Amino acid sequence: MHNPPSPQYVTEIIKRLRAAHPDAHCELDYETPVQLLVATILSAQCTDKRVNEVTPTLFTQYPEVTDFAAADRAELEEAIRSTGFFRQKARYIQESAQSIVHKHGGHVPDNMPDLLQLSGVARKTANVVLGEIYGIADGITVDTHVKRLAKRLGLTEATDPQKVERDLMAIIPPESWIAISHLLIFHGRRVCDARNPDCQRCNLNDICPSSQI
């Protein structure tokens, strides 16, 4: 990354985002680690809102990791059809569940290497699970909002999620790694829209290099 932003700038962004979105949190509904893993897999190329519409019935149908592992694939596909890419997601969910049952004693792994071995789990999903379930900040969750805002705010020039994550990890204090994703996602949804960013209403507009004011 060229000319990384100053620590003061980064600190100010985090402070203002915390003030603007004190309620920032993971918006996927879940009660168990397996449910969060499944919901995060479903959230690829799909809104959290849509996932939350599908999961109550899904989690009633498949209450335990063993139920996902032993599911009839066609029935599982049907249950998640509206989230898109349902065949691929059903395979990921079932294969991950089988690995959790057979290799991890029925428990969702609590470390990055083991999570990345699960079917369909890349760093984004692993970071969500580690941060939410175990409070472990091994990295920073980079979704479309985080990627877009990090670039607009001059925190990275990268477009590849892994490079964006690496750039953010280099400048954001580790104690804010979990929070920064939620803050940027909430800001992206509420203020900094992809097509029409509401710079007028943004509390970063006087320091943001992309501000249109």
Q: Rounded to whole angstroms, what are the CA distances from 161 to 66, 132, 195? A: 32, 20, 20
Of 124, 138, 147, 167, the catalytic one is 124
Active site residue 143: yes
HEC string of 140-185 equals CCCCHHHHHHHHHCCCCCCCCHHHHHHHHHHHCCHHHHHHHHHHHH
Domains of the chain: 7-25+140-201 (1.10.1670.10), 33-134 (1.10.340.30)
Taking the alpha carbons at both ends of the chain, their separation in whole angstroms is 26
d(CA 61, CA 114): 27
- The single-letter DSSP state of residue 44 is T
Residues in the chain: 213
Q: Are 171 and 10 in contact (CB under 8 A)?
A: yes
Instruction: Quote the CA–CA distance of 105 and 112 in Å, as a whole number.
Output: 17
Q: Which of 89, 143, 147, 167 is catalytic?
A: 143
Which residue is associated with the tokens 């290799």? 103
124 flagged as catalytic? yes
Enter the pTM of the model.
0.94
Per-residue pLDDT tens digits for 176-198:
999 999 999 999 999 999 999 99
Give the integer Cα–Cα distance in Å for 205 and 77.
44
Listed in sequence order, the residues at least 6 apart from 74 whose beta carbon sits closer than 8 Å to its beta carbon are: none
Q: Can you give the pLDDT of all 213 residues of the chain as single tens digits?
A: 468 899 999 999 999 999 999 999 999 999 999 999 999 999 999 999 999 999 999 999 999 999 999 999 999 999 999 999 999 999 999 999 999 999 999 999 999 999 999 999 999 999 999 999 999 999 999 999 999 999 999 999 999 999 999 999 999 999 999 999 999 999 999 999 999 999 999 999 999 999 998
Structure token digits, residue 59: 């989690």
pLDDT at 42: 98
pLDDT at residue number 1 = 43
